[in-house]
Structure 1
């Protein structure tokens, strides 16, 4: 097969870095030659001057050219005609995001350039629907497809893991743990989880993997539940899997998700997910049959202690990559 050229995000986003790493691992697993096209340096010059110049140099190279984020679709006019852009979410354009007008215009500029790509890959049907809603002209694009994110084989393996983190072990031995995992962006709706904690008996304790924003930290103080929350960051995958395998449930009350890795990870580890299935979550968790506990049933579930498993549809990176390249 021709070489695949990957144009990564230059930022430090965990999800973009994970997507990039997964794509690379999928190419390696399928013995597909690839090259990472990335400018040296950083900052606005690297992003908007060096990157387009470097992309233009690669234009003559035969193969598939993959931009891993819609925010870099401004590179499309400079690149090979066999271009693929991956679109993750359109939260920037949601009214609830209160995105400054200038940033919305810049983002729409990226999306308009993405229209020139030979193929647009959305990571979920939810993202595709948002794309068609916010930029209707994509309904006329000849090749807008959905390829769900892959996940590492580590999460699919069912074996239980042990943690060497004594603080985590002691926490799980002494408390009934609910998990909150991920960023604290507006669409994560983490204030719902905090209000739920205030309504639950003292035996429940929230383990927050990641930081809370300033507004939610203020809410924690107002609710008087700071002593019932433990905050940790930068856990290894092994420790995170340990948390999923031993927690009572993952609280995942998002009002929108481009994909929703934590919900998928938790379910694969046998951890119940409390969610309305908003956004893409219902695409791989069977919310309609109530195998995911919905938000308005959370108190009832947690008091009953009944464990319910969700049906899961999952792609490991090897297969996700082949779907992306139309070879699988």
Structure 2
């Protein structure tokens, strides 16, 4: 959530009318035994949230992490805006993804977070898909809600002035790219499976950026006989990620579910063709600027990928469409929508030059 807090702060960095103060209400729990971290984390959020509600004088609170939706109930007597990025944990509890449900304590916390969302004065959703999920879960939507796509960070802004032929990698080092964590919904296993279906037909390597792979990922690559063609880049810097987008012949993104999904838009902005699923919000986020297939249909995704790699006109079309599409995820539109929401919550009677937005910043 730090990334989203950075974006909100950057949106108003040159605006003296909206003063941003970031407040972290979560304690650092990494020093505690793993079994105690979840309880200690949420206990600290509740305790400090109550203090915030009682003592802070800000005109408006913007809670930037819907997984702490219970804060909206704690802050119910204050002007509160809540951003909901996704409801993956609740959907997991309901068996949506066919993976084990969270433990009993986690389920109680998740239920409390979802129930608390209805207390916010205004809900911001990253996508229509997430809004629909909340509606299906029974979250009260009284018309005080908005769809606001997060913007691209500055280092991933559209830059058409740099041709891909000048991006600094030898043409012989062809590779496909994926970026994501080890969460089940990111489907890193699917990335490996899709690559295995096309590996014999192409000279490319597969670069997977994110945390270190699990033993299961490594075993799957060995079993499929492609482990010597996969490079894992562990926790690369933003500069390195930008370089990887620019050098890749395609982004492979077989995500099971996304509340928004930054990587496809970042790839488009860097001139990289996108081959993805329609999981969660992805269909609405990528529009017609990517080749999308149904979740779990690795065969169709592999066919789409081969088409991009074998037909230059298809790749060029996706690059052009992607660059144009990515321009719609700019900071100016993001800021304008947030300011309009803030004004609607605090009312026109409060001068924006004296109002303050308080952003909850989750640093575990």
Q: 1:65 aligns with which of 61, 81, 98?
A: 61
- Rounded to whole Å, the distance in 2 between the matches of 1:193 and 1:249 is 12
1:234 aligns with 2:235: yes
Match of 2:309 among 275, 280, 302: 302
Asked whether the equivalents of residues 126 and 149 of structure 2 are also in contact (C-alpha less than 8 Å), the reply is yes
Alpha-carbon distance in structure 1 between the residues aligned to 2:84 and 2:292? 29
Which residue number corresponds to residue 125 of structure 1? 128
1:245-280, Cα deviation, whole Å (9 max, x unpaired): 121100011121111111000011110001133222
**What runs of 5+ residues in structure 2 fail to find an aligned partner?**
30-39, 294-300, 344-364
TM-score by length of 2: 0.75
Mapped to 1, the partners of 2:236 and 2:4 lie a distance apart of 18
Do structure 1's residue 21 and structure 2's residue 18 form an aligned pair? no
User: What's the counterpart of residue 100 of structure 1?
Assistant: 102
Q: Does residue 181 in structure 1 map to residue 179 in structure 2?
A: yes
Using a 3 Å threshold, how does the CA distance of structure 1 residues 40 and 90 change in structure 2: closer, same or farther? closer
Q: TM-score, normalised to structure 1's length?
A: 0.82
Residue aligning to 2:206 = 206
Deviation at 1:112, TM superposition (A): 0.8
Structure-to-structure mapping, 1:172-321, within 5 angstroms: 173-199=171-197, 200-201=199-200, 203-211=203-211, 212-287=213-288, 291-292=290-291, 294=293, 295=301, 296-306=303-313, 307=315, 308-309=317-318, 310-311=321-322, 312=325, 314-321=328-335
CA distance in 1, matches of 2:81, 2:191: 38
Whether the 8 Å contact between 2:67 and 2:87 is mirrored in structure 1 is: no
Deviation at 1:119, TM superposition (A): 0.7
Q: Match of 1:33? A: 19
The structural deviation recorded for 1:174 is: 3.9
Asked if 1:147 corresponds to 2:145, the answer is no
Out of 24-33 and 244-253, give the one that drifted further.
Answer: 24-33
User: Aligned residue pairs: how many?
Assistant: 302
**Whole-Å separation in 1 of the counterparts to 2:243 and 2:44:** 38
Residues in 2 aligned to 1:237 and 1:249: alpha-carbon distance in whole angstroms? 18
DSSP 3-state at the match of 1:85: strand
Partner of 2:339: 325
Q: Distance in 1 between matches of 2:50 and 2:163?
A: 47
Partner residue in 1 for 2:359? none
CA drift of 1:53 comes to 3.4
Render the CA deviation track for 1:132-172: whole Å, top value 9, x for unaligned. 12x22424x3412211111123322414399xxxxx977x6
Instruction: Supply the RMSD in Å over aligned alpha carbons.
Output: 2.7
